[in-house]
Structure 1
Amino acid sequence: MLQDEMLTLISTALTWGLRLFGCFWLMGGLLALQQARQAHLMDNLLEALSQEKEDRLTSRFLLIGSVLTFMSGAGLILSSQWVLIPLALLVLSQLIYFRLKEQRFQRATNEEERLDATVQSSTENAFIVSLVVAIAAFLCWRLGGLR
């Protein structure tokens, strides 16, 4: 009986913690959407000025990540079990991005290309946070906190 009460308490605390975090996650998704829009406009501007095709890998993954962050933030606020889908896709997309950047780093022939193929520490930190949130949401779902 005590164990059931403890699990219920943990589930409730985790659910409300994820809801609160979802508010920040939702706002972060909106800010990232704005950054993705700016990156897209900058790529267009640079292409127009240089008459050369810009590498849009980073801006495309920024757009994908921002949409998935926004969706998962909304799902966390609603405590929906469906939040596991955008969270899993977010983690997967970040892993794909890291792999593509690693491949580009391996193929780089000069310092500028290597620098461009390096993943920023803020991106690595965002991945860690995404992974922790996904694991917490999965645990919350297993405990019955997500409906």
Structure 2
Amino acid sequence: MQIAIDIIVFALGLIAGIGIMIIKIRMTSGSPQTKQELNNCQQENAQLKQNWQDNLAAFRSVATNLHEMSQHIDNQIEDAEQLLKDDKQTPAFPFFSKEATHILANANRKPRDKSNLDNQPLDYSGSASGVFKGSINTPINEDRT
């Protein structure tokens, strides 16, 4: 009888072990729908990762361009400041004298008002004067004999 009980307990253990293995296999393998959803999630995750990498590369490029533009603008500002500072220095061979340069630098630069000329200048007076005095009908190359 002992042998029969041992065989029955062995058979029950074997059946229980096989049943647990079958349940475990069904639970871990999942349905085809679950596998498809897992595959879709993995693809979406890969696509999101690629999008993030593309965006980071674009942002890095924009940041580099902004940095280069900022340096270019800083250089231009420094050049302009240098030109303003150098403007006060007199050149080695000035065109005007020191006094004339000083007067021109400190002169008020107001635009001149255009005046209406009602009268002709004296050089172009209405009556004949000086060299132009004489008759109008007299030819220039006239023989005086």
| TM-score, normalised with respect to structure 1 | 0.29
When you count helix as a share of all residues, which structure comes out higher?
1
| TM-score, normalised with respect to structure 2 | 0.29
Larger RCO, structures 1/2 (Cα 8 Å, 6+ apart): 1
